[in-house]
Amino acid sequence: MVRYRVEHTTRYEYGGSVILSQQLAHPSPRAWPWQKTLNACWQLEPEPSWRHRGFDAFDNPVEWFAYYLPHTELHVHLSLEVAVYAHRPPCLEGGIDVHTLRQRLSYQGTQPLPEDVGAQRYAFESPHIRIKRELAAYAAECCSPDVPVAQAAAALMHKIHKEFTFDPTATTVSTPVMEVLAQRRGVCQDFAHLMIACLRSQGIPARYMSGYLLTQPPPGQPRLIGADATHAWVAVYAPGVCGHDWIEFDPTNDLLPDTEHIAMAYGRDFSDVSPLRGIILGGGDHRPHVAVTVTPWSDFAEEGPDISG
């Protein structure tokens, strides 16, 4: 088990007065069997005119808030303390194979398994995910019918990591997945979208995981405050692997997530789990300024607060 503190600040400084704003945010992690939220503090400046907490269609905690009075800036700050437990499966052997899973998820005229019904919502196109022959072809060598789904996903993860270049200047939040496939460059969001699109094009359900990743500073260098970022990876529906139904894969780093990944939410793609999104009336030109710091609890002084239990 590893404990972390996460500080995530988003600051909007508008070029003019915003007279109306309606927003949706993910202010705290959803409940996970392998992760415990010890503390979550969610602050908004200025205080909104209206706010309400609930859950979205995927059972992620969300908050809706709105401003009905003019304002020229918006500051959103999340301070989070979590404990993450080891949960990576010890192996990827066994489990259902690609052909059998496709057959199970196809229409049979009989009552499907409850877990299959839940997985099917992650088998279709969504705002950032396409199902295309080109994507199926890219994943074909990894997804032979007789290969277990988890091993097929691992092979696809290795392939993407080997053949694509991490380049934060190559894409934007709205770059289409087909463009990412063509140019072979992008960031974690792009690689997660690409892997999901390839798997769905092969008939395998996959969902988009959003959260944070502990990044290690160079040897001898201090951890930079605010230099981290949100992270994205993939969960694949692969029943029967060591008691797991969903197995996580990180194509950006070519590994199976464990205690260095802090999970916040999941959905069909980024549009379902964006940390903050909404609409405004007015404001002129503006760009968000985002600062994220992920710190292991061991880096804090011994007199820090007790978060045991």
CATH number belonging to domain 98-272: 3.10.620.30
Share of the chain above pLDDT 90, in %: 81
pLDDT at 290: 92
- Can you give the pLDDT at residue 215? 82
Least Cα distance to 280 among 2, 20, 9, 30 occurs for: 20
pLDDT tens digit sequence for 207-221:
999 999 988 776 777
74 Ramachandran zone, left/alpha/beta (phi>0; psi -120 to 50)? beta
Show contacts of 159-166: CB within 8 Å, 24+ apart: 160/191, 160/194, 160/195, 160/251, 161/191, 161/251, 161/252, 161/253, 161/254, 162/254, 164/191, 164/194, 166/252
Q: Give the global pTM.
A: 0.92
Domain boundaries, the chain: 2-85+274-299, 98-272
Each residue of 235-253: pLDDT tens digit? 999 998 888 899 999 999 9
Whether the per-residue pLDDT at 167 is higher than 50: the answer is: yes
Residue 306 has pLDDT above 50, yes or no: no
Of the listed ranges 53-57, 65-69, 262-266, 293-297, the least confidently predicted one is 293-297
pLDDT at 224: 56
CATH number for 2-85+274-299 (one of 1.25.60.10, 3.40.50.720, 2.60.40.2250, 1.10.10.10): it is 2.60.40.2250
Whole-angstrom distance, CA of residue 153 vs CA of residue 142: 7
Residue 22: closest CA among 82, 81, 63: 63
Q: What is the mean pLDDT of the chain?
A: 91
